[in-house]
Structure formats: structure tokens, C-alpha cells
Amino acid sequence: MSVPAIELRGITKTFGQVIANKNVDLVVNRGEILSILGENGSGKTTLMNMISGIYYPDSGQILIDGKEVVIRSPRDAFQYKIGMIHQHFKLVDVFTAAENVILGMENEKYNLKEAADHVRKICDQYGFELDPEKKIYAMSVSEKQTVEIIKVLYRGADILILDEPTAVLTPQETDKLFAVLRRMRDAGKSVIIITHKLHEVMSLSDKVAVLRKGEYIGTVKTSETTEADLTEMMVGKKVSLNIDRSDPNHPQDRLEVKGIDLVSPEGIRILDDISFTARGGEILGIAGVAGSGQKELLEAIAGLQPLSGGEILYNNPKTGETENLRNKTPLEIRELGVRLSFVPEDRLGMGLVGNMDIIDNMMLRSYKKGRGIFVRKQEPRELADTIIKDLEVNTPSATTPVRRLSGGNVQKVLVGREIAARPTVLMAAYPVRGLDINSSYTIYNLLNDQKDLGAAVIFVGEDLDVLMELCDRIMVICAGRITGIVDGRSAKKEELGLLMTGKEAEDE
Amino acid sequence: MNTVIAFLTRAIVQAIPLLFGSTGEILTEKSGHLNLGIPGIMYVGGISGVIGSFLYEQSVGPENIQYLPAVLIPLCCCLLGSLCMGLIYSFLTVTLRANQNVTGLALTTFGTGFGNFFGGSLIKISGNDVPSITLTATSNMFCKKLPFAASLGPVGRLFFSYSFLAYAAVVIALVTSWILTGTRIGLNLRAVGENPATADAAGINVSRYKYAATCIGSMIAGLGGLFYVMDYAAGVWSNNAFGDRGWLAVALVIFSIWRPNVAILGSFLFGGLFIVHNYIPNLGVATQELIKMTPYVVTIIVLIFTSVRKRREDQPPASLGLSYFREER
């Protein structure tokens, strides 16, 4: 038995109260591709960042070639021939590929021509297609990724870590990348790939390590496992949360989305033939791994994304008419009562102005109502006071800048403002991300209240347990496609997990 | 013919302070820092040199001064003065991450006040009737020409009739240009100005590059002030005579699309445009002022062209004006 290229023993890392990784053991041999599989927030990237020197573990050992090492910076990682390709590329746009590759390599003579030749050699060896003289800004996403990979190979990396490399690639580019990775494995390198796409795991890797909520579940050989087994390892058993759920109150079709398509400027298909109906008096949950198109879908409904196909029909409960939202401006859509409540990846950026107080933030939605050039502060002030009282916002006063409030309170202000307008469609993306338990339940109750008042609530969540207890129906999307719509009361966690990873429901 | 030669030599003399200023500013901007303190720094460079040479002339008497100290003392004072300005700027913007525009403008105001205060003080000490200090002896040392220039006729006058600082300006611009495009240091510096996070990840010490570029850039710019007093103004310092040359230097940076070698020709053009009204007979005051405006107009035109063409290589460094925070985790 040969010595593993890299071995982790009992790695633990916490950020404040949150445990990101707990007692993780991992072994990767030479000439092997290991997939790290897990849901969002399961600690995959954190774990890899500890190997590449961005974080330092709280406890545990890292062994390279059987010897214990200390990795405190990316530079140390290079020294141990570890190279990580991050999701967000670190490249200088106006430089050529070769210039980017040699950036920071102080111990080598500065000679761009030789560097370019060396890059070409690496390309030939592993089957990349890249012009070293090409400027980064003229490159496609896949070419940029190639530059990143060559950057670490140029530095002689033997252990390559790729963080969700296929998220930005087309299927053809993914196939090419996998071919290259297999060639690297055959050349004796160790490849670690972070992913949450099961079919990629099955087709590419030799071994799979599964993480769930920071805990290490186990490593299995790909040849000895099935997608169903992996899903079970990934999502675990159901946990009961006791969220109140009322029965839908005379549901009526409010929003009919018919076959919408969305293509990004880079030519990647983000939404692919999405069709569903959201009903008033019902909570429709949307499940899926991050970046499957959830955010874009909500933005499309709110009129913030130009669609390339399909239509969005809105049955106006006040007039009884049906209107096509695709022809309307975001403002008109808002006026109809369709509210995109928040996307807390950028909680302050999307909905609130951090330096303004609660009253002024209320006014952002009503400033058009003033007469002439003067704003009217009376109404927003009353609204702010109501929200603070009803939602128990913990703030010194209504004139405190919102950036000084804690995450949960900011969230309450945001959602309070949106529901104050009595929306007919309320869309909420990850509304409880980063909130403590009590604040989360406050938000769930708010959504339930809106449902009982007859609004069509669309809830994008990441915790399957929450989705299964809060939503009446759950729609699962994967890579921009709907893989299934299931009943929230009878759904099984494994079923949802499989749908999330791209296995389409059989009865559809 | 003689008028043309006279115009050209005068234009070049006019151009040199601008060239120093923009070479320094280009170097600074390549590290991602927009130093609007350049006018103040050039002013401080000038007055520092004046203080040094004034004290030296006073201590030995103007008729007894030696070449080497007469040149080196003002030179060192000038470099020291502008280095201090550069250090203040980089401490505020790199270490404390203050707003670059505000810091720069404050330094310009401060530099002008500093110069005028010490200028006024020296005038008072010297007890002159006119509100200026005259350092003719030192200026003569600075203006020593190449001995063979006179014998070469118009060619000699056009190419070899300048003081050593003028040639230094051109050489510094060329060297800066070479460092930026042809060396690893230049590559690293440009990476810092374009995308500091990437440079940081590649193991480049971002703060050190920013400090070095800003301070060296300030020292180069300061030499522009010294050249102005000792050569252009023939050793006569009077408050506020430096005018808006500092801003012209900043405009020249844009005109030369962040390339020091282009700035050489650009500065000659600016210098020419700045004084051409003196060589056109029968101009009214209004027309003269309009012609003096042309360098700015030309800069705006260049700005329009580069903005419309959107060639990425002609754009300012991508992170120009932005403070760099390493992502805290």
C-alpha cells in the first residue's frame, strides 16, 4: 500500500458559533480523482480552503506524503504542490494568459516568451486549447478556467483542487474539462473536485467523500455505490421542526409561468422551459442546489431579467383580468402587487440602503406618492413604527441606520415593508439564511400569515426540512430545469434530494 | 527659422515640469492610486529646493558656491520634501484607506499653502523689495549646458541646449516605461493596480508596491517643481508663479493613456500649446487665454476617443481610486 498523496485526520474548523467542519478524515492517493459531495453549506469549500492555505484548521492534522505539514498561506500550499482553482477566477483582465500564469513567480527569470512556450507545452501534454498571448478580457469563461488550471500546473502542482468547476461551463466544455482531468489522473496527479452534481460524480471520480452540515459522513468507491445511496448520505434523515402549516384557503391560480427560457450573456442556459402555477393561499417552495436558476427565476417574474422565451400570466384578483407580465416594466409589475421580497445574498444591496434609517427605507417604496418635489414623511414614519412593534424589530429607534441592526432585524424590516403593501404574490429567496432560530420562525409565521390572507407565496429555501414543513407544494429545479413538483405534505427527503441532483421525476 | 527654433526650445523647457509630473503620476496610478496631490507635491518639491539652495547661498555667499553642493543640496531637499508628501498620501490612502480624491485635493491645498508660507518667509528673511527670491547663482549651476552645444548651430540649440534635469526627465520617462512593460516589477505593479486581490493571491505584497509607487512617483513629480524654479524661472521664486502646471501634468497622464513614453511627446505638445500664443503676433488677451486652454481641450478629445473606442489597454488601471481590503474571513 503506497503512502497517500494527502491525508486529513480529524480536521475541525469553527467560525464563531458555527461549526463548518467537524472531525473530517480524508485520504487521496496519487492518480486518483476524489469527489467531495455535499449540499450547500455542508463545508466542502471550507475544507478545501484549509488545504490550500486560506483558512487554518482549529484542530486536526494534514499529512502530505505521510508527513505532517502546516499550511498557513497559499504560498505554503504551493510549496507542497497543492493548487486550488476557485470558483471566482483570480485573473488580471488586461494581461495575457502567459502574464497571468507567471504573476508572482519571483524565483524565475522574467521571460514572457519562455513562459508562453512552457504554457504551450502544458497545453499539449494535457490537451488544453489555449493561446498564451490572448488577453483575458477576450476569453470565454471556460478559457479563463483553463488559465487558472494552467497557473497551478505551471507551479508544478501535484494535488489539484477544483471548486465546482462545472458550474460555469456548458455541457460540451464540461466534457472537455473531464477529459483533461482524467489525463491528469493518468499522469499520476491527485485531483479533488467539489461538486453537488451526482451524475458528474458518477462519471468522473474514483472515490466520493460525502459531507453533511459540516460532518464527515464517509468515503465510498464510486464503482461500489449508486446515486440513491449517495443522495441518502448527502441529505440524511428527516428532522422534525414543528413549523405551523395551515391548509390552503381556497387556492386559486394567480401566476402561470409558461415555458420561460433565459440565456446568460455568456451563452449559458440559466432557465430552460420552466412552467408552473403559483396559487393564491398557498406556499410554493422552490428547492435546488445553489445557482440552479432560483434567483434568476424570481427576478424574471419581477421583470428584472429579459427572457428569451415563454410567458408569465398573472390573474389579477381585483379586476379578474389576465395580464402578461413579460410586457411590463418592473415598476408596473410591482404595482400589480407582485413583490420580490429579498435576496439576502446581498441583503442590504438589493432592498435596503444601509446608511438610511428605517423610516427613509420605508420611503424608498413610496417616494413617488409625495406631492410636487416634497416627500411626505408621516406615512413612512407610521409604517416604520408599526413594523417595529408588530414584528418585534430590535432597534433603538426608527431613526437608526439599518446597517447597525442585526441580520434578523434587517430581514424583518425588509419583509415588513414588502408585506405592508398587501402583495398578491410574495416571493422570498433564502429569507432565513444567517438568522437564528427565533427570527427564522418569525419569518415563517409572516409567510404563513400572507398565505392565509390569500397571497401566492413563493419561497426559495435551502433547507429541505424547512421546505417540507412550510410549503404546500415543492418545485425542484436543477440546472435551470424543473425536475419535479411534489406535494409538501407527502414528499420524501430522498426523493427531493434525487430531484435536486438532476434525476427527473418518473411520473412526469 | 530662428523663431521656430526659439519656440521649440522654449516649448520643451515648458514641457519638462509637466513630463516629471506625469511620469510620477503615471507610476502612482499604475498602482491603483489616483494622486490628485501632484500639483501640491510639485509645489513642495520646488520650495524645498529653494529652501535648500537659499540656505546654502546664505551660508557661503552666492559668489563662493561650488558646483556639486549647489546642485546636490537643492536636489536632495526637493526629493526629501516630495517624498514626505508621498508618504503622507500613501499612509492615508494605503494604510488608513482614506478616500483618494479627498486626500489628494487636501495635499494640493496643503502643498500650495506650505510653499507660499515658506516662500513668504524666505522673502522676508532676504529683505527683498520685490516679493520674490532670486537664486541666480544656483540657477546658473543648474543650467550649465553641454559645452559643444553652442558650436552646433540650430541643431545644437534644439537638442543640446538644456540643463541636465531636462535630459533626466526624458530618461526617467523612458526607464519608467521600460520598467512598466518589460520587467517583473512592472508586471507586478500593473497587477496591483488592475486587480489587487489577484496580485495578493499570487503572493505580491500589495501595500509595499503601492507605497513604493506612490513615493517614488511623488519624488519624480517633485523634480518638476525644482526644474521649474531653477531652470524655467531662472532661479526666481515668487509665490503662485507655478500656476496650473500641476493640473496640466495630471491631464497629460490621461492624454498619454498611462504611458510614460507617450507622455514625452505629449508634454512637448502641451508645452508648445501652452506658449504658442506668445509667438503668434497681434493676439488679443481673450484669444491668448483661449489658446492656453487648448491642452485641456486636447485632453478631453483624447478622453472622448478612448472612451468611445473602449480598447481595454487604453483604459485607466481597473482599480484606480479604490482602496484595497483583503477579504476578511
**A10, containing H or E segment:** strand A6-15
DSSP string, B256-307: TTT-HHHHHHHHHHHHHHHHGGGTSSS--HHHHHHHHTHHHHHHHHHHHHHH
Grid cell digits, residue A78: 504551493
Nearest chain B residue to A113, by CA? B182
Name every residue in B having a CB less than 8 A away from some CB of A. Answer: 183-184, 187-188, 190-191, 194-195, 197-199, 201-204, 312-313, 315, 318, 329
Q: What gap in Å lies between CA B204 and CA B198, rounded to an integer?
A: 9
Strands of the sheet with A82-85, listed across from one edge: A67-69, A59-64, A6-15, A18-28, A215-221, A207-212, A32-37, A190-195, A159-163, A82-85
Residues of B in contact with A135 (CB under 8 A): 312
Question: Positive or negative, the Cα torsion across A137, A143, A144, A146?
Answer: negative
Hey, where are the domains in chain B?
2-328
Contact B187 A74 (CB under 8 A): no
DSSP state of A344: G
CATH class entry, domain B2-328: mainly alpha
- Position B108 pLDDT exceeds 90: yes
B188-218 per-residue burial string, b: 16 or more CB within 10 A, e: under 16: bbbbbbbbbebbbbbebebeebbbbbbbbbb
Question: Positive or negative, the Cα torsion across A43, A44, A50, A54?
Answer: negative
Contact A93 B195 (CB under 8 A): yes
User: How many angstroms separate the most distant Cα atoms in chain A?
Assistant: 82
Residue from B104, B115, B81 nearest B223 by CA? B81
- CATH code matching the domain that covers A241-339+422-508, chosen among 3.20.20.70, 3.10.20.30, 3.40.50.300, 3.40.50.720: 3.40.50.300
Nearest chain B residue to A89, by CA? B198
According to the model, what pLDDT value does residue B328 have?
46
Grid cell digits, residue A480: 435551470
CB of A191 closer than 8 Å to CB of A134 = no
Contact A90 B184 (CB under 8 A): no
Residue that has been written with the C-alpha cell 507551479 in this structure: A155
pTM of the model: 0.77
Residue that has been written with the C-alpha cell 547661498 in this structure: B57
According to the model, what pLDDT value does residue A371 have?
61
According to the model, what pLDDT value does residue A340 have?
67
Residues of A in contact with B197 (CB under 8 A): 90
Grid cell digits, residue B233: 524661472
DSSP state of A96: B
DSSP state of A274: E
**Nearest Cβ partner for B201 among A74, A102, A137:** A74
Q: How far is B27 from chain A (nearest CA, A)?
A: 17
- Position B106 pLDDT exceeds 90: yes
Q: How far is B255 from chain A (nearest CA, A)?
A: 20
Please give the sequence-ordered ranges of beta strands (E in DSSP) within A17-129, or none if there are none. Answer: 18-28, 32-37, 59-64, 67-69, 82-85
Question: Positive or negative, the Cα torsion across A282, A287, A290, A295?
Answer: negative
Give the count of alpha carbons within 13 A of A107, CB side only.
4
Please write the tens of the pLDDT for every residue from A374-397: 667 777 888 888 888 877 787 888
Q: What gap in Å lies between CA B39 and CA B193, rounded to an integer?
A: 22
Enumerate the β-bridge partners of residue A221.
A207
- Position B39 pLDDT exceeds 90: yes
**A16 close to B (CB below 8 A):** no
According to the model, what pLDDT value does residue A422 have?
79
- For residue A70, give the 3-state DSSP assignment: coil
Question: What residues contact residue A319 under an 8 Å CB cut-off, 6+ apart?
Answer: none
Q: What gap in Å lies between CA A363 and CA A399, rounded to an integer?
A: 13
Question: What residues contact residue A322 under an 8 Å CB cut-off, 6+ apart?
Answer: A313, A314, A315, A316
Average pLDDT over residues B31-47: 95
Most B CBs within 10 A among A21, A56, A94, hence the mutation to make, goes to: A94
Q: What gap in Å lies between CA A490 and CA B3, rounded to an integer?
A: 96
Q: What gap in Å lies between CA B146 and CA B139, rounded to an integer?
A: 15
DSSP string, A101-135: HHTT-TTS---HHHHHHHHHHHHHHHT----TTSB
Q: How far is B293 from chain A (nearest CA, A)?
A: 33
**Nearest Cβ partner for A99 among B187, B312, B318:** B187
Q: How far is B98 from chain A (nearest CA, A)?
A: 18
Report which residue type is found at A445.
N
Superfamily of segment(s) A6-235 = P-loop containing nucleotide triphosphate hydrolases (3.40.50.300)
Nearest chain A residue to B329, by CA? A55
CB of A214 closer than 8 Å to CB of A22 = yes
Nearest chain A residue to B191, by CA? A92
Residues of B in contact with A99 (CB under 8 A): 187
The interface residues of chain A toward chain B in range 115-154, judged by CB-CB distance below 8 A, are: 135, 137
The separation between CA B291 and the C-alpha centre of its own chain, rounded to angstroms, equals 22
Report which residue type is found at A130.
L
With helix as H, strand as E and coil as C, how does A198-237 read? HHHHHHHCCEEEEEECCEEEEEEEHHHCCHHHHHHHHHCC
Contact B194 A103 (CB under 8 A): no
Q: How far is B258 from chain A (nearest CA, A)?
A: 14
The percentage of residues in chain B with a pLDDT greater than 70, rounded to a whole number, is: 98
Please give the sequence-ordered ranges of beta strands (E in DSSP) within A303-449, or none if there are none. Answer: 309-315, 322-324, 338-342, 425-429
Q: What gap in Å lies between CA A45 and CA A85, rounded to an integer?
A: 11
Residue from B224, B104, B233, B248 nearest B172 by CA? B224
Cα–Cα–Cα angle for A429, A434, A437, rounded to 5 degrees:
100
Q: What gap in Å lies between CA A29 and CA A144, rounded to an integer?
A: 28
Contact B312 A94 (CB under 8 A): yes
Mean pLDDT of successive 10-residue stretches along chain A, which has 508 residues: 85 82 90 87 85 88 91 85 87 93 84 91 90 91 91 90 83 87 92 85 90 87 86 76 77 87 81 90 87 85 85 83 81 75 56 79 69 71 84 81 77 80 83 73 85 88 85 90 89 83 60
- For the purposes of burial, counting CB atoms within 10 Å of the CB of A63, is it exposed (0-12), middle (13-18) or buried (19 or more)? middle
Contact A103 B199 (CB under 8 A): yes
Please write the tens of the pLDDT for every residue from B258-276: 999 999 999 999 999 888 8
Residue from A341, A356, A352, A344 nearest A418 by CA? A341
The separation between CA A401 and the C-alpha centre of its own chain, rounded to angstroms, equals 29
Residue that has been written with the C-alpha cell 527654433 in this structure: B5
Instruction: Please tell me if the domain spanning A6-235 has the same topology as the one spanning A241-339+422-508.
Output: yes
DSSP string, B73-126: HHHHHHHHHHHHHHHHHHIIIIIS---HHHHHHHHHHHHHHHHHHHHHHHHHHH
The separation between CA A85 and the C-alpha centre of its own chain, rounded to angstroms, equals 18
Grid cell digits, residue B96: 488608513
**Nearest Cβ partner for B198 among A54, A92, A135:** A92
Instruction: Using DSSP bridges, classify how beta strands A456-460 and A473-478 pair: parallel, antiparallel or unpaired.
Output: unpaired
**B68, containing H or E segment:** helix B67-90
Residues of A in contact with B183 (CB under 8 A): 110
Contact B195 A137 (CB under 8 A): no
Q: What gap in Å lies between CA A29 and CA B231, rounded to an integer?
A: 71
Contact A54 B183 (CB under 8 A): no
In this predicted structure, which of B150-154, B164-168, B249-253 has the lowest mean pLDDT?
B150-154
Hey, where are the domains in chain A?
6-235, 241-339+422-508
**A418, containing H or E segment:** helix A407-420
- Position B329 pLDDT exceeds 50: no
CB contacts < 8 Å between A and B, how many? 55
Contact A135 B195 (CB under 8 A): no
Average pLDDT over residues B132-147: 84
Residues of A in contact with B312 (CB under 8 A): 93-94, 135, 137
